[in-house]
Amino acid sequence: MKHIARKRFGQHFLTDGAIIEGIVDAINPQAGDPMVEIGPGLAALTQPLVERLGQLNVIELDRDLAVRLREHPHLNVIESDVLRVNFTQLAADLKAPKLRVVGNLPYNISSPILFHLLEHVAVVQDQHFMLQKEVIDRMVATPSSGDYSRLSVMLQWRYDMENVLFVPPESFDPPPRVDSAVVRMVPLAEPPQINVKLMEEMVKTAFSQRRKLLRHTLGRWLEARNFAGQFDVQRRAEEVPVAEYVALVQRL
């Protein structure tokens, strides 16, 4: 019986064989890798992955798809909302020091998933995700560009990232109304030591009014914390490099 894509789950199923092959090559799965796929759907990516891996863990929210996936002898199916999955515990359960995480993420909740995984980055070896291209453009953006944003800063302080593959709408059924791409995210081996919650609050404040100078937003936030150090607030949030935000939160 044909599965009908469900809008509430943001389902768009990958059907282009050449694109699937390109994604698997970018991931480069090796036999025995402890890999987790988010949202396997109709197993377009799942099957070529499991052929190389031997065994694959998949997280699927759609009950009908989870039932189908359980029929596959080499899949460990976790029927759950990915935002409720404790990846640190999952790594422990699999007796794996690090997980490789992949997936065609639902575009409507891609940012919450990325931030959820950031909380478990200590047990992640690498991540390969298909996302809306404009989201990836923001993730990898450089300062003083239109795409540089809160997302850029909050991911770049912890990951090395690159856009590895463009995916057009016609590669899916049903086709989304946007271009897609695949991003590679590798956690930094020696990340800066920061208070992540404070960093989140600071960066959110800085980008809360993008067009205004920082003295109207971050400047007031720093004053409220009696910050006595030097920081140039006569510029906009998008002009400040990631390293400066990191240095500031460390001084706080």
Q: What is the pLDDT along the chain (252 residues), one digit of tens a residue?
A: 444 444 444 456 888 999 999 999 999 999 999 999 999 988 889 999 999 999 999 999 999 999 999 999 999 999 999 999 999 999 999 999 999 999 988 888 899 999 999 999 999 999 999 999 999 999 999 999 999 999 999 999 999 999 999 999 999 988 888 999 999 999 999 999 999 999 999 999 999 998 899 999 999 999 999 999 999 999 999 999 999 999 999 999
Same domain, 179 and 56: yes
Instruction: Check residue 108 and give its pLDDT.
Output: 84
Q: What stretch of H or E contains 101?
A: strand 99-104
Any known ligand binding at 10? no
Residue 12 marked in a binding site: yes
126 is in an annotated binding site: no
Q: What integer pLDDT is reported at residue 40 of this predicted model?
A: 93
Determine if residue 39 is labeled as part of a ligand binding site: yes
Task: For the chain, give percent helix, strand, coil, nearest 5.
Answer: 40, 20, 40
Q: If we measure between CA atoms, which residue out of 159, 82, 86, 149 comes closest to residue 119?
A: 86
Q: Are residues 119 and 225 in the same domain?
A: no
Does 83 lie in the same domain as 20?
yes
Do the Cβ atoms of 118 and 158 come closer than 8 Å?
Answer: yes
The last residue of a domain, from among 187, 208, 232 = 187
Residues 200 and 183 in one domain: no
Same domain, 173 and 201: no
Query: Does residue 1 lie within any of the structural domains?
Result: no
Of the candidates 144, 165, 187, which is a domain's last residue? 187
Residue recorded with tokens 């006569």: 234
82 and 151 assigned to the same domain: yes
Model pLDDT, residue 127: 98
CB 94 within 8 A of CB 125: no
Domain that holds residue 233: 196-251
The per-residue pLDDT for 232 is 97
| CATH number (domain holding residue 154) | 3.40.50.150
Residue 58 lies in a domain: yes
Asked if the structure places residue 114 within a domain, the reply is yes
- Residue 90 marked ligand-binding: no
Q: Judge if 165 and 236 occupy the same domain.
A: no
Same domain, 182 and 200: no
Strands (E), 154-247: 159-167, 172-173, 180-187
Q: Could you tell me if 54 and 143 lie in one domain?
A: yes
pTM for this prediction:
0.90
DSSP string covering 25-78: HHH---TT--EEEE--TTSTTHHHHHHHHS-EEEEE--HHHHHHHTTSTTEEEE
Nearest Cα neighbor of 81 from 9, 172, 149 is 9
16 is in an annotated binding site: no
The token pair at 206 is: 């800085």
Among residues 166, 187, 208, the one where a domain terminates is 187
Report the candidate in 41, 69, 33 with the shortest Cα–Cα distance to residue 173: 41
d(CA 77, CA 54): 14
Please check whether residue 206 lies inside any domain of the structure.
yes
On whether both 149 and 65 belong to a single domain, the answer is: yes
Residues 217 and 146 placed together within one structural domain of the fold? no
Side-chain-facing half-sphere of 166: CA atoms under 13 Å? 5
Q: What is the pLDDT of residue 11?
A: 56
For residues 102 and 127, is the Cβ–Cβ distance under 8 A?
yes
99 assigned to some structural domain = yes
Phi, psi of 174 (to 5 degrees): -75, 155
Residues 180 and 209 in one domain: no
Is position 171 within any domain?
yes
- Report the domain count for the chain: 2
- The helix (H) or strand (E) run that includes residue 104 is strand 99-104
